[in-house]
Amino acid sequence: MYNNNDNHPNSLPSARKLSGSRMGKKGEEQAVKALQAAGMQIIAKNYRYREGEVDIIALDGETLVFVEVKAWASYGLEDLQYSINAKKQSKIIKTAKYFLFENRQYSKMAYRFDVVFVKNNSITHLASAFMESV
């Protein structure tokens, strides 16, 4: 789904620069509520590893879901491809693998990578937004 062009002329600065930590935190809170309302069980928030961070880790039935949250006031859904580029995806995937290493009870489960986009209290959930490349 995402164009992995890190050097695109319209590449966006990091979400932290765009929105500030307060908007990001509020967006993550809204995402958690939306995921729970959809029946997901939240396992962890802001899981960090030296390679990166996963905003939310949840269970969707028998599937483990690693969620990246983007909360922007100015940019739109079409701009996600520049923010969640190949480098960002790689960091999320490495962090997810470390989570699975640390939490072996989930290591045999299917997993996916979702993105939740929050803009002006509107939430868009993109399930299986990107996949691990082989």
The string of pLDDT tens digits covering residues 87-121 is 999 999 999 999 999 999 999 999 999 999 988 87
35, part of any domain:
yes
- In terms of Cβ atoms closer than 10 Å to its own Cβ (0-12, 13-18, 19+), residue 65 is buried
Q: In the chain, how many domains are there?
A: 1
Task: Give domain status of residue 14, yes or no.
Answer: no
| pLDDT for res 112 | 96
Size of the chain, expressed as the number of residues it contains: 134
Asked if residue 22 has pLDDT above 80, the reply is no
Both tokens assigned to 101: 């290493």
Question: What is the model's pLDDT at position 17?
Answer: 47
* 119 against 4, higher pLDDT: 119
Q: What is the pLDDT of residue 74?
A: 67
Q: Where are the alpha helices (DSSP H) in the chain?
A: 15-37, 80-83, 86-102
Query: How many percent of the chain have pLDDT more than 70?
Result: 75
Average pLDDT value for residue range 19-35 = 82
- pLDDT mean over 27-43: 95
Between 94 and 3, name the one with better pLDDT: 94
Residue 119 lies in a domain: yes
Cα 31 to chain center, whole Å?
Answer: 10
* Structure letter (DSSP) for residue 79: G
Residue 71 confidence (pLDDT): 85
Strand partners, 41: 59
Domain ranges, residue 46: 25-130
Residue 61's H or E segment, with its range, is: none
> Which DSSP state fits 55?
E
Task: Tell me if 20 is assigned to some domain.
Answer: no
CATH number at residue 46: 3.40.1350.10
Residue 32 lies in a domain: yes
Tell me which amino acid residue 124 is: T
Question: What pLDDT is recorded for position 94?
Answer: 95
**101 within some domain:** yes
Asked whether residue 32 carries a pLDDT value surpassing 90, the answer given is: yes
How does residue 85 score in pLDDT terms, banded at 50, 70 and 90?
Answer: confident
Inside any domain, residue 10: no
d(CA 15, CA 18) in angstroms, rounded, equals 5
Residue 81 domain-assigned (yes or no):
yes
pLDDT averaged over the chain?
81
| CA–CA separation, 18 and 22 (whole Å) | 11
